[in-house]
Amino acid sequence: MNPFSNLFPKTYRNFLYTYLLPQKTQVFWLTFALLTNIALQIINPQIIGYFIDRAMTGVPDQKLYFAAFIFIAIALLTQVFSIAAKYLGESVAWSATNALRSDLVKHCLYLNFAFHKSRTPGELIERVDGDVNALSRFFSQIVIDIFGNIILLLGILIVLFWQNKLAGTCLGIFSAIALVSLIGLRPFAIAPWTKYRQVSAEFFGFLGEHISGLEDIRGNGAINYVMHRFFKFQQKWLSIYHQARLAATILWATTVGLFTFGNGLALGIVAYLWSQKAITIGVAYMLFYYTNLLQEPIEKIREQLEDFQQAEASIYRIQEILQLPRELDIQTGNKLGDGALSVKFKNICFNYGCDDLENIDTQNYRQWILNDISFDLKANRVLGIVGRTGSGKTTITRLLLKFYHPQSGSIYLNHIPINQISTPELTQHIGVVTQDVQLFQTTVRNNLTFFDTSISDGQILDVLDDLNLSTWLHSLPHGLNTELNLENAGLSAGQAQLLAFARVFLKNPSLVILDEASSRLDSKTEQLLETAIDKLLLGRTAIIIAHRLQTLQRADEILILEKGQVIEYGDRQTLINNSSSDFSQFLIP
């Protein structure tokens, strides 16, 4: 078996091909600098041997001075090309890893929501940043310190064989044994380094989760529990780190032993050839010099194998993400057209974490988050959805946005199956306001428009005026260009909720979903918002999810959910007039 094909299997070659090919010009100059540097390292010992032999025979000083000058010049050029190779290697590495990081982030953004729900933000950050950073050495040093040193090693062996066949043969066998031994030991360290990277990701996920929940942790006296988990992570991390370092130490000890044997072998060969008058003192020096020079590429290869083990663990983890199937979506589909949308749910069954009906007991209704949900909302109508926490209200909005797909049943918008509508078309026509508002560390304008440059400042100012946010905007130092910081530039929870409403106004959707949208507003702010909501719903279809019955006064139809099932659905006024309906019972104080 070829050890080098084992060292660089197809997956890694694909990585190199994909991310180094676009930089073929820089890679060409990197190769040129690398090969020139190697050639100069091999040539210089020849000059030293020539200098020694000529000095022993008493040649004129001018020739010795000339040889010394050439030696110094080549030594300087060697350093110049070494620096050039390092610079180009780092440039290639960062360009490659930035491209990989971009591909990885884009891939993650297209993965389904189940993937993101099952992983903490800290773990994903470690995957996208930490693992990719580990690969910067893979893209640069894999060329310079492994391929380059393999070429240097072969060049030295060729020169040794040319100088003396016995020395070349013996030291060639030694080098082959050394390389095969080191490469053979490499796989033993892959598993510990893979575990090390995984624990690292879990630890950063743990930190991110508990830092974001710091108020609740301190307010409820859970600091001791967090510290206990922190120390548990540290103990686990340290144990795995020791395993990984032990594997690296085995490589180091093997290298030291091989070098000791190699030096002894070289001295024995040189002593034997000198005693047989087969070589001059200059050649003897060259043979021993080249033998010592052999140590450098072998040692460098050994060192980079340690880094490669860590890179290999990162490659496995990155491949694990890249091999996850992206959320399938059609690129072009049916257009929804202008005006309000009609919405129809037909026998929808859904459960989180279940990809198909074979994985769930269809007879056990308790397993379904939504069980046989059906309703038909005409255009320009308002549907109010009521139900206890966990009854499946918010899940309906997630299905409408194709965050998840139902296991059975069909969803239609304007009589078009939702799976025949592209996601960009869908998000363009649906606007959502939830009780949890996400604001980003960018300008107020970008937070309102989601980076849509086609929305003018005049449109933004009109909307903020309708929502009574003009005073707040004028209080900001740079108006719409003010950067929102981590404290949201002094925004209260109610003001943040109003900004979410402003986003929907600016989007001008055909279907509006209000999911507990006024739950964080005080009564005075909510009253100010009533007129704005009436304006928002004008000429649009709406779905309002609310616990407050007052919020449902503008609903035309009512849907009541209980444990994922419809227990009542009909015209709001008809349900109010029916004293035996569940909705009318809700209205009784």
Average pLDDT of span 172-183: 78
Percentage with pLDDT > 70 across the chain? 84
Report the 3 state secondary structure along 54-118. HHHHCCCHHHHHHHHHHHHHHHHHHHHHHHHHHHHHHHHHHHHHHHHHHHHHHHHHCCCHHHHHC
Contacts of 256 (CB under 8 A, 6+ apart): none
Please name the residue that has the structure tokens 């980079």: 304
Q: Quickly tell me which residue has 């719409």 as its tokens.
A: 480
Question: Residue 306 — pLDDT band, cuts 50, 70, 90?
Answer: low
Find how far residue 163's CA is from the centre of its chain: 52
CATH value of 343-439+491-587 in 3.40.710.10, 3.40.50.300, 2.60.120.10, 2.60.40.10: 3.40.50.300
Kindly tell me if the per-residue pLDDT of 55 is higher than 50: yes
Q: Which CATH architecture has domain 3-322?
A: Up-down Bundle (1.20)
Mean pLDDT of all residues belonging to the chain: 79
Span 529-545, pLDDT tens digits: 777 778 888 888 999 98
Look at strands 382-387 and 541-545 and give their pairing: parallel
**What is the arithmetic mean of pLDDT over 155-181?**
81
Counts of helices then strands in the chain (DSSP H, E) = 22, 10
Amino acid identity of 62? Q
Domain map of the chain by residue range?
Answer: 3-322, 343-439+491-587
* Lowest-pLDDT choice from 50-64, 93-107, 146-160: 50-64
For residue 164, give both structure tokens: 């003396």
Residue 357 is predicted with a pLDDT of 44
Q: Which two tokens stand for residue 506?
A: 């600016």
The strand order across the sheet containing 511-515 reads 430-434, 511-515, 541-545, 382-387, 557-562, 565-571
Contact 30, 89 (CB under 8 A): yes
pLDDT digits (tens, 9 = 90+) for 228-258: 888 888 888 888 888 878 877 777 777 777 7
pLDDT at 3: 44
The tens digit of pLDDT for each residue in 113-135 reads 777 777 777 677 777 777 787 77
The answer to whether 514 touches 543, Cβ cutoff 8 Å, is yes
Mean pLDDT of 302-311: 68
The model's pLDDT over 8-19, given as tens digits with 9 standing for 90+, comes to 556 666 777 787
Residue 186 has pLDDT above 70, yes or no: no
Among the listed residues 448, 456, 435, 437, the one whose alpha carbon sits nearest the alpha carbon of residue 476: 448
